A and B are shown apart, each in its own frame.
Chain A
């Protein structure tokens, strides 16, 4: 396999055979033995997620150059110009939800670009930012949010009644104060990732 090919989608048996320079029959044997994790399509064909092929190659000691994007991972994007806060928030979520992949940016414009590239499951957005603030980002995300199954959690350093009222009119799914209890923060993030908005406390839901 050429090392500059990046796989994103599940691979067929033939593609795996090409990557590993073996026959299709060998790949099927790996699947039958349970060494290579695969799933079956509606039409009865085997498909292998790139992440599972990578695990198989690593565990069997096969040194094959292989690049992939793990689309089974849950991506969370944090947009906050307060770098120390964003850094700590990333550490807390990583500690509590280790399977989540987190990217941070301190720039709302870059955040919008990253949303297009990453298609994150959840965007955690600060309100007060230079260049483009949280309200403007929310306005621009309104249409894209409907296209993708994406949730938005707004975190703010100062939530007064007017700000809350304004946020209630946006496409934000939940709003939290930056001083919120950590367990509430983690529960909210986990619920939004699961799209379980019903699990959120009533006052958090827009």
Chain B
């Protein structure tokens, strides 16, 4: 098997970079609603909320679950086609203080 061309290596490197950025983006998107879930569950357990608050928490729980589901779909899409990462991912964070 012939050694890979430099252009192929460069393309692979770009894909890895994009994939990393995509995963980071999705992780960030999933962690926010997960944090909401954790806090809503805590408040429902510890504060004995009235009906209005309970409905509010339930609404936040449901919208958070939807966001997590969307994030997981994006992860599946990344696994199937790493090149899609570039279209979703944010740019790399600064390497030094702005």
Which residues of chain B are within 8 angstroms of A47 by Cβ–Cβ distance? Answer: none
Interface size counted on chain B using CB atoms at 8 A: 27
Please tell me if the beta carbons of B97 and A170 are within 8 angstroms of each other in the complex: yes
Q: Which residues of A59-93 have CB atoms within 8 Å of chain B's CB atoms?
A: 82, 84-85, 87-89, 91-92
Given A84-B64, A169-B97, A182-B38: A158 and B43 interface contact (C-beta under 8 Å): no
Please tell me if the beta carbons of B28 and A157 are within 8 angstroms of each other in the complex: yes
Please tell me if the beta carbons of A158 and B98 are within 8 angstroms of each other in the complex: no
How many A-B Cβ pairs are below 8 Å? 68
Chain A contact surface mostly? helix
Which residues of chain B are within 8 angstroms of A169 by Cβ–Cβ distance? Answer: 97
Nearest chain-B residue to A138 (Cβ)? B97
Instruction: Determine how close the nearest CB of chain A comes to the CB of B45; give it in whole angstroms.
Output: 10
Bound Cα distance A182, B98 (Å): 31
Given A95-B47, A182-B42: A158 and B31 interface contact (C-beta under 8 Å): yes
Please tell me if the beta carbons of A92 and B93 are within 8 angstroms of each other in the complex: no
Q: Which residues of B7-64 have CB atoms within 8 Å of chain A's CB atoms?
A: 24, 27-29, 31-36, 38-40, 42-43, 46-47, 60, 63-64
B interface residues (Cβ-Cβ under 8 A, vs A): 24, 27-29, 31-36, 38-40, 42-43, 46-47, 60, 63-64, 90, 93-98
A interface residues (Cβ-Cβ under 8 A, vs B): 82, 84-85, 87-89, 91-92, 95, 128, 133, 135-136, 139, 157-158, 160, 162-163, 166, 169-170, 177-179, 182
